[in-house]
Structure 1
């Protein structure tokens, strides 16, 4: 697992003044992304406070050598796939050197200042070309909350605690924060109707998830062992796997969701690296005494000891009326990422146990992360009991599912005693009306 080193020192500050005390991007974070500026092509960058450091320019600056230089050169193009393919060594070397260059007292401040762009002047892009996207169902409280609506006496299906459940999503429709959320059209069938109808989804929902970015991949036919799986994880992001619940209810049998999911998945644009997250690794919550122990290919004691993440996740909503009245977004809930039943390493190990190959830049979704109660559920399906119990917002508006114009915002913050907290940036999208088909 990634090591804690001098880059995590809570006393470390930066000459980039906005980084000191920054809610998301202090010098202890240094996430990776892809940005562009006016008249300049997309290339790799690192967030530091309210600024973005240009990795292409850094590679030509003469300030980097060895693995750090190799990493910057690999990140100089339109995607970070070449950098992620290099693995943790070069990534860590780049992080350590950038930390030195950006820290207070750096002798090279004058040169590094020329590598910075104000974030407000930058456009952020997908950090990788995503060859494959897989969505899991590892949030056990979400599985229980939803299962109770349909199977009150037996909410979990028999395989849930034995095998990580997942399906292959559509990589082409993954977009970064701010992308338009066009209400999807599709078939839906009311419970009392004889035939389905076609039209806009009436039960549009969010799903609060973490995204897992894959670093080095594996050869087809060669599984990744559970003890090695962590080294194949480059970092995390926030992920909203928008869901049309009415389309899904009609189409999901026997092969699972299709049009209900593939219209859009929104991710936060910065890869919060495995190295930055090292201080926030924590013990995977203990399983109930009567839960089955996972099969050996899914079990590693080190992974159980530090395979979970101490990340606080939140969902906020801002309706059109709230924007008109200049009201702040309303927080629907907050909960910990430790509400996942399977670790990220277990998801990688299971994904590849049959020989399936993962590639640098591939994306895995954890599945919706929820709390056992309403304090931090990750979907309106849970919060409104399938639409039967509308929620009332502070301004008196009610919602069962999302209305046109609603803006959903996901937020994440990694927290651990004795360390500076780091954030993910936001993951937001605003619903626009369906097209006439």
Structure 2
């Protein structure tokens, strides 16, 4: 219950309370919480209320709040819920509510490191079949795939907030039928619909973070579009892995949904066979029932189900740190492309067009295999909340703009 006039179907209700960073014209960015069609200026409210945690909610990023740790995350959530539920706080809170339509949303946290995983079996089988021309699922998966969450380190400096234009990248490409590589703008620009996990509490170098410590270190969840230049990627990843084909841009949604808001979305992950090694055991409940949707130029092309993820976020965190790699506040790691078993559940254009061999139609009569200049991609998601509520993640959007012309 709340004294706010919120629609019953609002995905930004009190069961959610996602955090972001916003600004109004002429003002510096500050921490906010999405509530209905408004943003709660939680830093100024906390100061007005004399809350001891007010200092960590000031400033242009969520990092101080993330670093404060799980106890503070829960305390702030509890207090904000009280402020928005009890009519007695209406006069205190109302001056700190800003219409969402009047604000600009910014990158919500300073990204320390970025890691991307490859943890969906449907996507891995599809991609392996397309890239390696495999005959069946067994051949499509690499021998290590069901033993560990495969991942790579990305580029933190090119993580951008939703709405940032995506400049078509250039690099080397070498089609199978060509003898030599050529240089130029990517001709096979793709998307990857993913879910991101934001680290708050750091760990020490040399320390392992077990699956049971997931909630102590990870604050919340966002949406990710890991833009991919498939032609650049296919030529350069032999033998080391993604580099320029991935590092030009990764878009994230502006709202970070706390793990505490996702308790009703938790599900058991798919069965894992063979049984993982001991350091990856113990997580039987951090699969997430998120319904995702991908739109290209306003047209729904896919609805990937996140519950199909083979490796969970807790297992990914455990593997990420098993060698003693330390966590830092602001670390972001992404799930890898989310795909389901059906064609209309594939999380990348690589899969939807089957490597460019099966173009798909858009309502304007055009066809796509990969993205053209001017195309806009929007990824959204919702999750179940308490009492039939839906938890929203906002959107991660990006429009492709032409490659930068090389100066002579």
Q: 3-state SS of the aligned residue for 2:17?
A: coil
Q: Report what 2:216 is aligned to.
A: 231
Provide the rounded CA distance (Å) in 2 between the counterparts of 1:196 and 1:22.
53
Q: Does 1:298 align with 2:280?
A: yes
Q: 3-state SS of the aligned residue for 1:278?
A: helix
Could you tell me whether the CA contact under 8 Å between 2:15 and 2:385 is conserved in 1? no
Q: Which runs of structure 2 are paired with 1:63-212 in the superposition (5 Å)?
A: 64=51, 69-70=52-53, 72-103=54-85, 105-149=86-130, 150=132, 151-153=134-136, 154-212=139-197
Provide the rounded CA distance (Å) in 1 between the counterparts of 2:383 and 2:40.
22
Q: 3-state SS of the aligned residue for 2:172?
A: strand
Q: Does 1:316 align with 2:301?
A: no
Could you tell me whether the CA contact under 8 Å between 1:55 and 1:73 is conserved in 2? no
Calculate the TM-score normalised by the size of structure 2: 0.96
Provide the rounded CA distance (Å) in 2 between the counterparts of 1:191 and 1:366.
30
Provide the rounded CA distance (Å) in 2 between the counterparts of 1:293 and 1:316.
37
In the TM superposition, residue 279 of structure 1 has moved relative to its aligned partner by 1.7
Q: Deviations over 1:160-180 (max 9, x none)?
A: 000110000000000111000
Q: Report what 1:336 is aligned to.
A: 305
Q: 3-state SS of the aligned residue for 1:277?
A: helix
Provide the rounded CA distance (Å) in 1 between the counterparts of 2:262 and 2:332.
18
Q: Does 1:33 align with 2:12?
A: no
Could you tell me whether the CA contact under 8 Å between 2:233 and 2:245 is conserved in 1? yes
Q: 3-state SS of the aligned residue for 1:430?
A: strand
Could you tell me whether the CA contact under 8 Å between 2:15 and 2:261 is conserved in 1? yes
Provide the rounded CA distance (Å) in 2 between the counterparts of 1:268 and 1:146.
25
Q: Does 1:376 align with 2:345?
A: yes
TM-align CA RMSD: 1.3
Number of residue equivalences = 402
Pick from 350, 356, 359 the counterpart of residue 390 of structure 1.
Answer: 359
Q: Report what 2:3 is aligned to.
A: 15
Q: Which runs of 4+ in 1 moved over 3 A?
A: 416-419
Calculate the TM-score normalised by the size of structure 1: 0.90
**CA gap 1:148/1:417 in 2 versus in 1, 3 angstroms:** farther
Q: 3-state SS of the aligned residue for 2:296?
A: strand
Provide the rounded CA distance (Å) in 2 between the counterparts of 1:417 and 1:38.
36
Pick from 44, 49, 53 the counterpart of residue 62 of structure 1.
Answer: 49
Q: 3-state SS of the aligned residue for 1:114?
A: helix
Q: 3-state SS of the aligned residue for 2:123?
A: helix
Could you tell me whether the CA contact under 8 Å between 2:67 and 2:201 is conserved in 1? yes
**CA gap 1:230/1:60 in 2 versus in 1, 3 angstroms:** closer
Could you tell me whether the CA contact under 8 Å between 1:22 and 1:49 is conserved in 2? no
In the TM superposition, residue 419 of structure 1 has moved relative to its aligned partner by 3.3
Provide the rounded CA distance (Å) in 1 between the counterparts of 2:194 and 2:243.
18
Which runs of no fewer than 5 residues in structure 2 stay unpaired? Answer: none
In the TM superposition, residue 417 of structure 1 has moved relative to its aligned partner by 7.3
Could you tell me whether the CA contact under 8 Å between 1:134 and 1:169 is conserved in 2? yes
Q: 3-state SS of the aligned residue for 1:316?
A: strand
In the TM superposition, residue 82 of structure 1 has moved relative to its aligned partner by 1.3
